[in-house]
A and B are shown apart, each in its own frame.
Chain A
């Protein structure tokens, strides 16, 4: 994609020791994720008999669909120079609301209203960050606490179970042998990728994240772009929440809030910059696949799952360090 060409050109132009260090780091930043995914894929193919089967691979994709949606939205946010901690709480709220409303309203209206509530939460985050100028990290930490509390109020601490048979459709039904949730993930990836790389809107996101003042002086509505990105984050958490609640048929406050960490890990491992203005959806998609393959590999090879989070943490640190070093060198 466009980013790839940037790197090769810079590599060619680069001269002198500092420039070549920066060129090398840039290359790492650009393509490390591709190499890692391919390598891991090959390793798993040869070490496990069950890895390279349609069932296993579809299973992996189905599992990552919700976190993938949240990660796409987080990619938009990092590109525009903001962050959203609250998408985990909004994701949980969606599940709880849908489970609670289903007996009264029926399946689809319940899911729709629950996802819309998450969208509204995202819009509120966006307005607070863009207009009240609250630091996005602090703002979404606070709203995250409030939303998590709201979920607790709604469930009163209990598990909310849905028994209606139709409720499973979104999470479990298939089209052409593939689960709805995978279709949603794929369509969302294509759509988000298109928006970022091929539309005015996408350009504006990059410009605002890369240099808000230059963007403003170019006539771009910086605040509106931020609100849009937060709204999308809310919506993605809502759709992800709807998929999961439909699959499990249970809403439980406090369960699943950490989805935002997995999503963030996927985004930065993919190579999207935490400093704004740089990143892409294909990167996040590969980041998601990479982390999912690690989990899947651990399971298939029967490694203790406790080591997973240690390894994930180390991977995030490495990714962010490479990003920040490559910025400093250039």
Chain B
């Protein structure tokens, strides 16, 4: 076994469109240590891990491995330096056998032939080391998630990896499996492998890591020995003022405002379980939670996009046999998480996207009334202030912010009772963000109920009248949006309170 690699990054910058993921981050990772990266959603920890492993190219900054400055042109280059990445989504060939996956691209043998006997021997050795007990001939697809992950680890070991980046490795594991993974990770370290461990499970991080680095809004907050830290001290470091966008004034809903949405015992295990809450007319209720806490899944289940047990009622009338179609009729609107994949039909014109969900408004007996449609589209786009050259331009030719406004406009052709807004400002610039905040606030002021989901806690707290904290698919707390502070909500979503 070669010794672990020491790694350092200097002044790393990375932007995704308008969003800054990393803003000049520098850290040092010593050879043979487990170095954890922690932070809120969107703090930049995953991006940093991927940059070290060559899966993402930084816009600026340098990466130093064992004192030598390196430039990766592809993840293959990183492998050459002995750096491997284990992501949440595994990069395995599902129909190939375990053995073939492990040796993929580095087959043992010569002259184009594979020496299977030698491979099996080496495999047995490594499998023993990390406690992998499945047969090497079965297709990877048939393995449980935890075992697939071990195949990823075996794959890294076969490549003589000296530094492994693990990105949220326990996210898809049961507690027992996660504990086993922590053990394996410790053994790897004891064998001299360096590990960069990206996770939001602070308990695991403290139990496992030698060193912890806290990131916040793409910036380095601190790096310290793990034994000097506690869950509390880490959460405190993750807080601090967000890079702020000013939020519009909150107009509280009248005290006698009727309940628009009532959710009772909504369950779709394992995503979320027994979730109950209400949203009143004119009220903005924010759902706060980590990635995987069930935020998006809850909104989709309410809308009928995914099946779920439990009750959903709009203005006291229960929705039965929930489907998007029925939900829209009852006055629900879903601004989905990804406008490109779920919200808009990118190849079609702007106007068609705006009227798509409400063609009944602009047609008679199934035949479109084009004049009427043009007028409706013009008025609706004006109400959200979406800049466009022409109604017939493809929606893909708009900027991200204007696309998002168009995706919102789609639900304003006929005013809904309740808007489910999932990540309404993801990947758009600050100006467009403020415009979306104003729109949401104004809609609420007009009596609409809003369920707001965002991975930016500042956004949830800045806009919501009431905040519901989710942890692992359950409601972990409910707070007044005006008075609650970030720390309280963070403790609830991290479970450290």
Contact = CB atoms under 8 A, between A and B. Distances in A.
Interface string A201-218: 101101100110111111
B414 to A, nearest CB: 11
Q: Report the contact-size class of chain B (Cβ under 8 Å from the partner).
A: 35 or more
Query: Top 7 closest A-B pairs, CB basis?
Result: A210-B345, A218-B357, A219-B325, A219-B328, A211-B345, A200-B359, A9-B393
Contact of B347 (A216, A220, A277): A277
Interface of B: 303, 305, 324-325, 327-329, 334, 336, 341-349, 352, 355-357, 359-360, 363, 366-368, 370, 389-390, 392-394, 396-397, 410
Contact of B392 (A6, A204, A217, A220): A6
A278 interface: yes
20 contacts: A5-B392, A6-B349, A9-B389, A9-B393, A198-B368, A198-B370, A199-B367, A200-B368, A206-B348, A211-B344, A214-B343, A214-B345, A216-B305, A217-B336, A218-B328, A219-B324, A219-B327, A221-B325, A277-B348, A330-B396
Interface of A: 2, 5-6, 9-10, 12-13, 198-201, 203-204, 206-207, 210-211, 213-221, 273, 277-278, 330
Given A213-B341, A214-B344, A5 B325 contact: no
A278 B355 CA distance: 17
A203 B368 contact: yes
Contacts of B327: 219
Nearest to A5: B392
Given A9-B390, A211-B345, A277-B345, A203 B324 contact: no
A194 B303 CA distance: 33
Contact of B346 (A10, A210, A221): A210
A215 B328 CA distance: 13
B420 to A, nearest CB: 11
A203 B352 contact: yes
B368 A217 contact: no
B359 A9 contact: no
A207 B329 CA distance: 19
Contacts of B397: 9-10, 13
A5 B348 CA distance: 12
Nearest to A202: B368
A199 B359 CA distance: 9
A203 B392 contact: no
B442 to A, nearest CB: 23
Contacts of B367: 198-200
Contacts of B342: 211, 213-214, 217
B352 A206 contact: yes
Given A9-B389, A9-B390, A219-B324, A278 B345 contact: no
B341 A218 contact: no
A213 B345 CA distance: 9
A210 B348 contact: yes
A213 B393 CA distance: 21
A72 B394 CA distance: 24
A217 B324 contact: yes
Given A203-B368, A217-B305, 11 more contacts: A10-B393, A206-B345, A207-B345, A210-B347, A211-B342, A217-B324, A217-B336, A218-B356, A219-B324, A220-B325, A220-B356
